[in-house]
Structure 1
Amino acid sequence: MTQPTDAPTTVPQAAVVLRHYVSQARWGLAATRASVLEAAHPQIGAALVGNSTFVARPWRRLRNTMMSTRRLVDDDEQVRLREAARLNRLHQRISGTDAHGRPYDAMDPEARGWVMATLFESTVTMCRLGGHPLDPPTQQRLYDEFREMLVLMGDDGSSLPATLQEFWPYYDDTISRRLEFNEAVHAVLHRVFAEVPPPPALRGHPTAWAAIRALAGPLATAITVASLPETYRRQARLTTPPGAQALMHGVHLAAGLATHWLPAAWTQVGTFMDVLDLDDDDDDGPGSRLLGALLHQASRVSALLQHLTADAGPPVSSARRSAERFFTEVLDQTGDGHLAWPDLAAMAREIATRLDMDAQTEARLFTAYADWWRELQTSLDTDGDGRITRHEYATAATTPAGPALIKIADVLFDATDTDGDQVISAGEHQKLFRTAFDHELTGGGGGLSRAAFVREFLTFMAGRHRSAAYDHLLTEG
């Protein structure tokens, strides 16, 4: 049987079919659909609500997910194995109990199998809705590759049925018996799309972004809900506005036709990431330059509208406002209004991901953050409820800088200083922060010493001043 036009043209080897589809920008439709079905699983939903930054910082989550996926389907086996080990280390730190007293564990084999199941089925659905359904051999190979992904992650693969014929009854049974409509599903469908902050390329255009989000958010929700399996929509009581099904089919078909007919460079995920300025590999690509040119005039209008609509509320103490803003932008990584261990763990995960840390360095970093959390609880958790509110932080008499924070800075310096010369070079700085040196930091020497690096980190984490480097690292959405 001949391969469909939409299938890879080379003989499938390890992850070749999967790599073909995840490299397409339209795979975002499949990944978004799959994320809802994943969140509906009790264990995964609880892990997301308790630990993830996907609501407060969705662009960071998107960028890291795409980077991780590229590593997992890389040609180099060592790259794949290293990324699988890194993900396992991060997931081993995510466990707990949900609001109903049910335990959850990110390493649970059933939950990990369901993640692969949703991604496989959503990819198959994407191709079908896009007008080029997968033929049986290609679908079988894709399924085998997702099962191989579980083996790569260290599972034995038994959490997914051994054959594709057995998969579909398993998939339907899981939807009908295991899935629920929970807080995580509500967050994905309603909070993420409604509250998503502007991507890096649009942060200077808040008014333009507000208009885009007001239109695109409800449409994205309607399209995603309409694409979900009817069984789940019915049991979760999810309704769609009139015309949503037609709109969903139209979007998928248009994306499929564009992928089929347009030059590949126009429809690859890298192009999409470049336009939104999310790709680490190209800070000044053609997509970003084009978007910047299109928004040049809009920036003046945006600035004027911001001035005319400025908040005229009651005056607030500048010190208190600064502390509360720092709490919201930096410390509250999960966006739930409180500072707790998952927020600091999210900081550690982001740093470990940026630097692709080895197991030993990563363990040092998480230990340092755990020590800092204990210091923060001792000094700031005045009511002893195990979390720190914005008010508790803003009214504290001292800044949260102590020995543990210095230890974090030392670990961060050691991990960034890859050549061990005790100076952070421009290239090392760029890898961690994705921004160039501030000339004031280097002192004209072209590098950053340990003392200067630690001083800058402590000054920023004390909330005393902004830093382009640490804003890129810890505050971006």
Structure 2
Amino acid sequence: MVFGPGSQFHRFFDDPRWALAMIRATVLEAAHPQIGAALIDNSTFVAHPWRRLRNTLLSLQRMFGPDDEVRQREAARLNRLHARLNGADERNRPYDAMDPQVRAWVVATLFESTVTMCRLSGQPLEQTDMEQLYAEFQAFLALLGDQAGHLPPTLQEFWTYYDHTVETELENTQALRVILYKLFDHLPAPPLLDGLPTVWAAGRALAGPVIGAITVASLPEPFRRRAGLPETPGARTLMQSAYLAAGLARFLPEGWIQAESLTSLLYLSPDSDDPRAATITALRDRMKRTGALFRLLTPFPVQPGPDEGDEGSGPRRSAGEFFTAVLDQTGDGYLDWPDLAAMARELSSRLDLDEPQETRLYSAYAEWWKELQAALDSDRDGRVSKEEYAAAVPSLAGPALIRVAEVLFEATDRDGNGVIDADEYRALFRTGFGRTVAGTGDSYARGAFVKDFLSFMSGRRRSAAYDPLLAEA
């Protein structure tokens, strides 16, 4: 079976080793000049890595799941997403996410990293299993509709293609350097640990360099040599130990480790009405006490989060905080179209929008970008800096932003009855009325929805609904 529970891919989806393989594959993708440029210009992986991880896992689950209709809709969504990603890198070389050769390389890194994962953990794939897995990834690429640039037809030809690409096309790109030397060392806390910066900083200080060293050691030797990546003494032993240790999870009872459950747990807010939230709240209380002990024993230079700081700070934040947390989705220090496109992409994904609603939402955000650019881009360089935003009128709520709110309401109101009910609300915010909106009763009217959206997007008020959607990592 190519897709569904009987596939080779389905065996690996909940395998802890696959986390290491995914990181490795992402680095090899980022080393491709076109992919690296697209990541730097458009991706939220720096500012919102946990959201990116969750969305990637959800997409793979849809594509390799048993439901053919879901698979077809996800393929169409990915094609629409990729069609919007094009431009030029810092050396003015064009990139296009619809380039079939680029898409083939993304799939190639996932396949090869899975094979390498098995080999490094002492459980190499049998030839027949490897050929079946390769056929599944070929089918994945074919489902996207590419007519050219498919992966090589046979597994033997694939290894020639893979080695040639590694040796001649990959580069030490900016995106690769960000992943290896910035992301791991500055990885923001997942929502589960939000507000516990001391505890997170302590764990990250230990784990970040280790993950980076393991990843570098696992990369193909020809590329490491050409890219000048350092080889830390003992890194290969550490890498093999990590893969072997993760491979021991096969002895755990079936169902104990599920990628979807673990990811949703990391993304679970204590404010959620999920039944697990009470347990999370108790866990956070214990971790806060641990954090207090760390502050006494170690001088970690971190600022208090909302749970560890002053209780009287109120629901507002400064213009600079709002700019960094909400507007600068790509984390490059500026506001431009890719940031607002990332918001539209996240909202479309949450609501699982099809055409033409998805395009309507993107178009509304594009009009808002024009409005912001005209009002705030004082030096006319095509983007808005934090200083330009803070110096102008951060509470702008013009017609274009109002239109974004209206389009978002219409997209959320799936039955078109003029109000958002509990199920529709949960589809967007992943939580219930009682936790986030006071006085909604059994529905959320258009006027109240638009008012709350404008308050968040222009008034810089924190929101129990919108912060997890657009501000959290």
TM-score higher than 0.5 here?
A: yes
Q: Is 2:268 the partner of 1:272?
A: no
Q: Over residues 69-109 of structure 1, what are the superposed CA-to-partner deviations in whole Å (9 max), with x where a residue is unaligned?
A: 11001101111000000011011000001110100001001
**Contact 1:320 1:394 survives alignment (8 Å):** no
Q: Is 2:410 the partner of 1:419?
A: no
**Contact 2:436 2:464 survives alignment (8 Å):** no
Partner of 1:377: 373
Distance 2:114 2:452 in 1: 45
Partner of 2:467: 471
**Aligned 1:30-429 pairs, distance under 5 A:** 30-156=21-147, 158-258=149-249, 260-277=250-267, 284=274, 293-302=282-291, 322-397=318-393, 399-429=395-425
Distance 2:268 2:180 in 1: 22
Per the TM alignment, residue 320 of structure 1 is displaced from its structure 2 partner at its CA by 11
Distance 1:295 1:469 in 2: 20
RMSD value, Cα: 2.5
The number of equivalent residue pairs is 457
Partner of 1:3: none
Partner of 2:3: 14
Deviates more, 1:397-406 or 1:329-338: 397-406
Distance 1:249 1:167 in 2: 25
**Contact 2:2 2:135 survives alignment (8 Å):** no
**Contact 2:31 2:176 survives alignment (8 Å):** yes
Distance 1:31 1:283 in 2: 31
Identical aligned residues as a percent:
55
**Contact 1:369 1:408 survives alignment (8 Å):** yes
**Contact 2:316 2:461 survives alignment (8 Å):** no
Q: Over residues 204-234 of structure 1, what are the superposed CA-to-partner deviations in whole Å (9 max), with x where a residue is unaligned?
A: 3211001001000000100111111111111
Task: Give the 3-state SS of the residue equivalent to 2:87 in structure 1.
Answer: strand
Give the aligned residue type for 2:80: R
**Contact 2:198 2:302 survives alignment (8 Å):** no
Give the aligned residue type for 1:342: P
Distance 2:273 2:107 in 1: 32
Per the TM alignment, residue 242 of structure 1 is displaced from its structure 2 partner at its CA by 1.4
Per the TM alignment, residue 301 of structure 1 is displaced from its structure 2 partner at its CA by 4.7
Distance 1:336 1:79 in 2: 34
Pair 323,370 (structure 1): closer, same or farther in 2 beyond 3 Å:
same
Q: Over residues 46-83 of structure 1, what are the superposed CA-to-partner deviations in whole Å (9 max), with x where a residue is unaligned?
A: 10011001011100000000111110011011110000
**Contact 1:435 1:472 survives alignment (8 Å):** no
Per the TM alignment, residue 29 of structure 1 is displaced from its structure 2 partner at its CA by 1.0
Where does the alignment leave 5 or more consecutive residues of structure 1 unmatched?
1-11, 313-317
Distance 1:444 1:474 in 2: 22
Partner of 2:310: none
Give the aligned residue type for 1:142: L
Distance 1:93 1:55 in 2: 20
Give the aligned residue type for 2:266: L
Q: Over residues 340-363 of structure 1, what are the superposed CA-to-partner deviations in whole Å (9 max), with x where a residue is unaligned?
A: 000000000000111110110000
Task: Give the 3-state SS of the residue equivalent to 2:199 in structure 1.
Answer: helix
Distance 1:476 1:162 in 2: 42
Task: Give the 3-state SS of the residue equivalent to 1:96 in structure 2.
Answer: strand
Deviates more, 1:212-221 or 1:393-402: 393-402
**Contact 1:43 1:104 survives alignment (8 Å):** yes
